[in-house]
Amino acid sequence: MRSLRFWQKAYLLTLALFLAALYGGVAFIGWQNQQQTMASEVEKARGEQSFVAQGLAQDLAAVEGGNARLQKASLARSYGTYYAQNGILLAVSQNGEEMFSNLPAGGDAALAADKGRQSWALRTLDGTPYLLVASALPGGLDDYALVCGRSMEQLYATWAQMRATLVVSSTIVSVVLAAGLFLILRRLAKPLERLAGVADEFAAGNYAVRAEKRSDDEVGMLAASLNAMADAAERDIAEIRRVAEQNARMAANLSHEIRTPLTAIKGYAEYLRIAEPTDDERESALRYMTEQSTRLQGIAQRILQLSSLEHGDVEFEPVELGEVIDRVTRSVQPLAERQGVEVRVKPFDPASVLGDAILLESLFTNLVENAVRACEPGGRVDVGIEARGSSVAVRVADDGRGLAPDELARLGEPFYRPDKARSREAGGAGLGVALCNEIARAHAAELAFASEPGRGTTAAVLFTGS
């Protein structure tokens, strides 16, 4: 069985509290009205009994003669007949002996008539409720007792009708309120259900879905927060996917890169084991095996550098960029001479940054070597340092073949090489630019490339000083 939703629970709880308050209030009002009416009826009955008792006492005191008892009984009967027309029934007795009574059986003995004191009670006589008031007659006639009774049947019927009216009215109000409360809570719950639907759809994989903000209240704030969370989650998911795809390409490229030298080493090893090569052939095979082993070692070192930069911290110290560029150009000079490429360093003012000298030398060595390899014989590579305020930019520009836009967009991916044939001949594995990106990131610097096919490439490293 499905559990109740929040709005349904709120509806039932609110309705239950209202009904309890409504019917409790109605019952209290009815009871209070009944008590007030009864008190008024009692006060009225006591006044009537007192008035009748005074009149009867005066008339009885005036009766004289030998047949006084008969005359007094006749007087009591005349009183009873007169007041019966007004709905008041009487019972008159002397010393406990009844003189007259038009009350139903038992009414005259229902109450004790004490001297100087009224007493009242509700009694049911012959199935009819009566309010009885009794007292001794005043004026020294303590041996006479008067009981006045008034039927409460009409009053009880009025009370019953009033209770029925209150119940019907309360029921109608309850039904109207229940329907109104249902519609209001259902309407208030609709936006929450829409938000829940958006969350479910997002969890199902539709990361583009967003909640519609229709108001500035708490529901609108919740929709805005949900959208902000969805935006952040979508960005994180996109980044995770990008990294996963990059890692997958890196794993595939790594497998491809190490397969070639491993296959060559294995092939030459089998050749040396099975064949009977000459000394020159053996020397050539061993030299090739050494070159391929060196290439594998270089790939492993680059991967270790990338990993250490991604997961480790760099200790910074002031580094003079001019000295770093000087060491770089001297180390790259043999490669440039073999390629027939001129490497020139433009005049610059002294500039220093906070960083790791070894990592920075590796960064610029990679950039200058790539620039040299991109040039044809007779080409030129220019290296310059520009200091502007707290920022320092190092630019490496070549006049080589340049890169197409799609090649430029992928530059920096691990194992990606725009010119695969030339890179393999030079022993490259496509990790240099990726390593440069990580070194720049570790130094809070920006590495950017600009290139045009046939007109060369410019790499710029901007140190912001932050």
How far is residue 402's CA from residue 94's CA, in Å, rounded to a whole number? Answer: 139
How far is residue 152's CA from residue 83's CA, in Å, rounded to a whole number? Answer: 16
Phi and psi at 325, nearest 5°, equal -65, -35
Q: pLDDT digit string (tens) for 419-433?
A: 544 444 444 445 567
Q: Find, among 48, 136, 125, the residue nearest to 93 by Cα.
A: 136
Report the Cα–Cα distance between both ends of the chain, in Å, rounded.
61
How far is residue 387's CA from residue 222's CA, in Å, rounded to a whole number? Answer: 49
How far is residue 85's CA from residue 53's CA, in Å, rounded to a whole number? Answer: 17
What letters, b where the CB count within 10 A reaches 16 and e where it falls short, cover 131-169?
A: bbbbbbbbeebeebbbbbbbbbeebeeebeeeeeebeee
Amino acid 438 reads: E
Q: pLDDT tens track of the chain, all 466 residues?
A: 467 777 788 888 888 998 899 888 888 988 898 899 999 999 999 999 999 999 998 988 887 655 677 888 888 899 999 999 989 999 998 888 888 988 887 655 545 545 558 889 888 888 889 999 999 888 888 888 999 999 999 999 988 898 888 889 888 998 998 898 888 888 888 887 888 888 888 888 887 888 777 777 777 788 888 888 888 888 888 888 877 776 676 566 556 556 657 777 888 788 788 877 888 888 887 887 887 787 677 666 666 665 666 655 567 889 898 899 998 888 888 889 999 999 999 888 888 888 888 888 888 888 898 899 889 999 999 999 988 878 899 999 999 888 888 887 777 666 556 654 444 444 444 556 777 887 888 888 898 988 888 888 999 999 886 5
Q: Find, among 72, 78, 79, 127, the residue nearest to 94 by Cα.
A: 72
Task: Residue 353: count other Cβ atoms within 10 Å of its Cβ.
Answer: 23
Task: Compute the half-sphere exposure of residue 95: CA atoms within 13 Å on the CB side of its CA.
Answer: 1
Q: pLDDT digit string (tens) for 79-137?
A: 999 999 989 999 998 888 888 988 887 655 545 545 558 889 888 888 889 999 999 88
Provide DSSP, 190-217: HHHHHHHHHHHHHHTT-TT-------SS
Q: Find, among 38, 40, 126, the residue nearest to 110 by Cα.
A: 126
- CATH superfamily entry for domain 315-464: Histidine kinase-like ATPase, C-terminal domain (3.30.565.10)
Any idea where the domains of the chain sit in the sequence? 6-170, 207-313, 315-464
Class of domain 6-170: alpha beta
Can you give the pLDDT at residue 401? 87
Can you give the pLDDT at residue 425? 46
Q: Find, among 328, 321, 411, 322, the residue nearest to 362 by Cα.
A: 328
pTM of the model: 0.46
Q: pLDDT digit string (tens) for 436-450?
A: 887 888 888 898 988
Pick the CATH number of 207-313 from 1.10.1200.10, 3.40.366.10, 3.40.50.980, 1.10.287.130: 1.10.287.130
Instruction: Report whether 63 contacts 71 (CB < 8 A).
Output: yes
